[in-house]
Structure 1
Amino acid sequence: MTSDSGRATTRSPSRRGRGRPKGASTAQTRERILAAAADLFAERGFHATSMTGVAEIAGLSQTGLLHHFPSKEELLAAVLGRRDLRDLQALAEGRGAPARGWQVWDDMVSLVRLNSHREPLVRLFSTLTGEALDPEHPGHGWLRQHHRSAREALTRAILDAVADGDARPDAPAGQLARQAVALMDGLQVQWLMDPAAVDMAADFAAWVETVRDRWGLGT
């Protein structure tokens, strides 16, 4: 371009801010943000985690972070949704049809085994479970729906097993589903406290086998 005095000048290239890492797509940037937020929420809890801290860990300016997630509540919802989506993807992997009956319970065993290799996610869930008991907490609704969905899926699975002739008609489906959810959550806490002494995957698998021996039919 030309300056007012007529001399040619060259515009220096604009500097890319921290909020716009070179070559990063929107999806990649969001994934970096969610990974950073998940780690911080797990380590510090929701209330003690600042958006500034998330931005710093993600390598963004706060403006860049707010462009993707305008509030910490929206960020939390996205982190929790990411966890559930990854769980569903992991359980569906390699299966051509939706799980039914005892397969659903086998999937829960697989999920606990998977979680034994995902300590940050387990810590996030366990930390938020305590905080989200408060009805005013932004994760309260998610936690309630998360537990309800798990109970309903496990209850329906046993009812399907009864219908298919794979479980006794008097199997207490709802009670067993509530026990399963409680056991999974409780084992996660014990495992986080003492991972060398607690094999949550083996413990949960053994309990499910006991349930199946007691209430299952057929092979």
Structure 2
Amino acid sequence: MRVILAEDSTLLREGLVRLLAEEGHEVVAAVGDAEALLEAVRTHQPDVVVTDVRMPPTHTDEGLRAALEIREERPDTGVLVLSQYVETRYAAKLISGDGGRVGYLLKDRVAQVGEFLDALERVAGGGAAFDPEVVRRLVARTSHEDALGRLTARERDVLDKMAQGHTNASIAQLLYVSQSSVEKHANAIFDKLDLPQSAGYSRRVLAVLRYLGS
């Protein structure tokens, strides 16, 4: 896949460039600030963008705001946020759109290189990938506690896994239940949260997260 990296740490940026090149991906641009990221995306039209949140000049939320702009201008481009920070307001906006191709991972919680590469491929392929801590922060931020309170403990477990981007088959393995049970729990969740059902798991994840982040 064609990738653009936006990371102001030179060591990390160069490390990611080498890692992706070794995996057979083409890094068409590697930049250190949000303005350069937007220019590179418009020039190279990548399959997926990997960006930090805090970059020059203010080191606050430039990368995440640039990600939102990319999602608006090029919804077919995957965006994977890789950061030390969870910026809940813009994170909720980032994952609230339709179409998949979005992820948010925390640097210090990516335990293995394979996890990062798997998340990148899922996002580029139209899916979603979210760190559980990001999901937890968004759940804590929601103003819809009444609706969430209608869920059973098992439904909350399933919702948590759905929000992380897992398929029904994956959730079944993680929770040691049958896939049909997961499907029943998922349908109950959508009914209780007044969310439209969809056969595509990435659209389902975004529907859940759109509710949680609204």
Give the TM-score, by structure 1 length: 0.30
Question: Which has more strand, going by share of residues?
Answer: 2
Using CA pairs under 8 Å that are at least 6 residues apart, name the structure with larger relative contact order, 1 or 2: 1
Give the TM-score, by structure 2 length: 0.30
